[in-house]
A and B are shown apart, each in its own frame.
Chain A
Amino acid sequence: MSQHAIEFENVRKEYGQTVALDGVSFSVEAGTTTVLVGPSGCGKTTTMKLVNRLEDPTDGAVRFEGEDVQNVEKTSLRRSIGYVIQDIGLFDHMTVAENVGTVPRLKGWDEDRIESRVDELLSLMDLPPDQYRENYPRELSGGQRQRVGVARALAADPDLMLMDEPFGALDPITRDNLQDEFLEIQEQINTTILFVTHDIDEALKMGDKIAIYDVGEVVQYDTPENILENPANEFVEDFIGSNRGLKKLQVLPVEDVMDTDGSLVGKSVSELARERPEFEAAAADGAGTPPYVTAGQSAETALSVLLESDCDDLPVVRDDSVVGTVTLKHLRHSNGPTREELTHE
C-alpha cells in the first residue's frame, strides 16, 4: 500500500464546453482528513466523485492506494469506499439495521457478522442498538438520520470515506455536536477521509489538510494553520474572512501556547481554589470549580474563558493536574512568535 491514500495527478474534467476542473494535483495521506472547501460550483464535489468513479476524468489520473481507479471495476471500488452525502439518502423502506448493513450484505458477509457489525456501529454513533435497530428512517430526527448515514458508510470498514457536505443540512447545534463526535470517532477508526464543505469554519475544524478551491482549480493546499498564517492569495484571504485572528485560535490547541513554568503547575484542580483569592471567589460563585481549560481545547476556548473570568492567567489542566497557564498575552502572541520565543519573554 502506498503512503498516499489518494493521488490526483493533473486532473481535468470537462462537461461539454465547460471546464469543471483543471490541473488539480494533490495527494491525501493515509489516515488523515482532507477537506475540500470552496464556493458553490468550484468543482470540489466533482473532485470527490472522481474517486469513487461517479465521474470519470477527462484527462489526468486519480489513484486510490496506488492504483489508477480507471483500472478498478466501479462497483467493487465503491463498495470499498464509504460514501456520505448531504441528503443522507437513507432507504426509507428498510430499518436502521438494514440500512447500515447494506454494503456488508452486497459484499456477501454472513448474517451474524453483519448483525454484530451493525450493533457495533450503532453504539459507536451513540444510537443504542436495542432502541434503534428496528426503527425506520422516518421515525428519526435529522441528526439521528445522519448518524445512521455515517454508520452505513462505515459498515464494511472502508479504508476511505468520502463525505459530501455531510452535516450541511443540520441545524447549527446538531452540526456542531456531530462534528465533535465525528472527530472523536475518527481517532478510533483511523480511516482516510475526504470531506467536502463550503463552510471554512467546518474545514478548519475537521481538516488535517485543506484544499481551497477557486473556480475549477485548487488555489491552496496546506494545513489549517499554514493557510491562516499565509493565505496564498486574495481569494483565500477573502474566503477565510475578516476574523482570521480568531480562526487561528480555533485551530490552535491551548497546550501549544501555554506557559509551562508557572507556580500552579503540578497542582490538582481541587487545590487551585485554595491557591489564590480570585480562584476562591470563582469557586464560591456557584461554579464549584475555579476556571480552567483542558489541554486539548482550543486557544479560542481559552480566550473565551479568560474573558469571562477575573483571572489574568488561566490554568491548563490535563488529567486533573495543571500542566501550564495561559494569559491574554500568550494568546495574542500565538498569532506570531513560536512557543519557544514566548517562554523566553
Chain B
Amino acid sequence: MSNLLVEATNYLLNNFDTFVDLLREHLILVLVAQVGAIVVAVTAGILATRNERAKTWVLSSGNISQTVPPLAVIALVFPFVGIGFNSALLAMWVYALLPIITNTIAGIEDVDEGTIRAAEGMGMTDREILRQIQLPLAVPVIFAGIRTSTVMNVGTAYLAIFIGAGGLGDWVVTGIQLFNTPQILAGAIPGAVLAISLDTILGVAERNLNTQTTQSGGAVAEA
C-alpha cells in the first residue's frame, strides 16, 4: 500500500504540469457550478418560504434534479449545449441545487415562531423580518447546505471527463482503462484533499460571516 502511495506521488510529480491543469479545470468547474447554484438555490429557497405553491414547485424540481444521475444530465443536455465545459457545468449546477434549497427553506422556517411574532408585533414589514431576522438566523443552516453540496460536487466533477471537460477524472478514468493504479490514486487522492479543504475554508468563512452579520447589525444601527 505504502509502495503504491510512493508510486502515485512519483506519478504526480513526474506529471506535475498536467496535474496543475487538471486540478485547475476541476476547481473551476466546482466553483462556477457552486456560485451559480448558491445564487439560484438561495433565491428559490426564499421564494419557497413566502409561497406554498412555489414551495411545492421548488422542492419537486430540486428533488428531480437530485434523483437524475449526473451522467444522465450530461447525456440529456449535451445536444443543446454541446460537448465540453458547459455541459459538465450545467450537470453539476443542477446537482448542487437541492441541498442548498432544502437547507435554505429549513433555516428560514426553523426560526423560532415567537421571534417572528415579536418582530411582526413590533411593526417590522415582511421584508424587514426576512432581511433582519430570518436570513441572519438561517445563515448557519444555509451554509451547512452549501458545504454539503460543494463536497458532493467535487466528487461529481470526476464525471466531467466523459464529456471532455477535463478535471482530475482524466487520470482516474485513464488509470482504470490502463490498470495503472498509481495514476488512479494520483487523480483520486487530490480530489479527497480538495473536498476536505473546501469544506474547511467554507467553515472558516461561515464563522467570519457570522461575526460580520452581528457586527453589521451594529453597523445598520449606526447608519
Contact = CB atoms under 8 A, between A and B. Distances in A.
Interface of A: 52, 54, 74-80, 83, 85-95, 98, 101-103, 105-106, 111, 114, 149, 152-153, 162
A148 B112 CA distance: 17
B222 A103 contact: no
B220 A105 contact: yes
A93 B217 contact: yes
Interface stretch (B43-51, B77-85, B116-124, B190-198): B116-124
Given A95-B214, A114-B221, A85 B117 contact: yes
Contact of A89 (B117, B132, B220, B222): B117
A83 B122 contact: yes
B114 A88 contact: yes
B137 A92 contact: yes
Interface residues of B, number: 26
B136 interface: yes
Given A98-B217, A98-B218, A111-B221, A92 B115 contact: yes
Give the residue among A79, A105, A162 with the most B Cβ atoms within 10 A.
Answer: A105
Given A91-B133, A114-B221, A106 B115 contact: no
Contact of B122 (A78, A92, A111): A78
The 8 nearest A-B residue pairs measured at CB: A89-B118, A87-B114, A78-B123, A79-B123, A83-B121, A89-B114, A89-B115, A75-B123
A91 B214 contact: no
A77 B120 CA distance: 11
A169 B89 CA distance: 53
Contacts of A149: 118
B146 to A, nearest CB: 18
B213 interface: yes
A99 B132 CA distance: 11
Interface string B147-185: 000000000000000000000000000000000000000
A128 B125 CA distance: 31
B128 interface: yes
A297 B221 CA distance: 43
Contacts, number: 79
Contacts of B218: 95, 98
Contacts of B118: 83, 85, 88-90, 149
Interface in B81-137: 112-125, 128, 132-133, 136-137
Contacts of A162: 121
Q: Is the interface of B mostly helix, strand, loop or mixed?
A: helix
Interface string B201-223: 00000000000011001101110
A135 B133 CA distance: 18
Contacts of A83: 118, 121-122
Contacts of A54: 117, 120-121
Given A83-B118, A85-B118, A101-B221, A93 B137 contact: yes
Nearest to A86: B114
A301 to B, nearest CB: 35
Contacts of A78: 120-123
A91 B119 contact: yes
B170 to A, nearest CB: 45
Contacts of A153: 122
A257 B221 CA distance: 53
A45 to B, nearest CB: 11
Contacts of B112: 87, 89, 92
A106 to B, nearest CB: 6
A30 B114 CA distance: 28
Contact of A77 (B114, B123, B136, B214): B123
Contacts of B221: 98, 101, 105, 111, 114
B124 A106 contact: yes
Contacts of A52: 121
Contacts of A88: 114, 118
Nearest to B120: A54
Nearest to A77: B123
A302 B124 CA distance: 47
Contacts of B123: 74-80, 103, 106
A143 B122 CA distance: 21
A78 B125 CA distance: 10
B78 to A, nearest CB: 45
Given A85-B114, A101-B221, A93 B214 contact: yes
14 contacts: A54-B120, A74-B123, A77-B123, A78-B121, A83-B121, A85-B121, A87-B113, A89-B114, A91-B115, A92-B137, A101-B221, A103-B123, A106-B123, A162-B121
Contacts of A94: 214, 217
Nearest to A80: B123
Given A85-B117, A91-B133, A105-B221, A79 B122 contact: yes
Nearest to A89: B118
A93 B119 CA distance: 13
Interface string B40-82: 0000000000000000000000000000000000000000000
A137 to B, nearest CB: 10
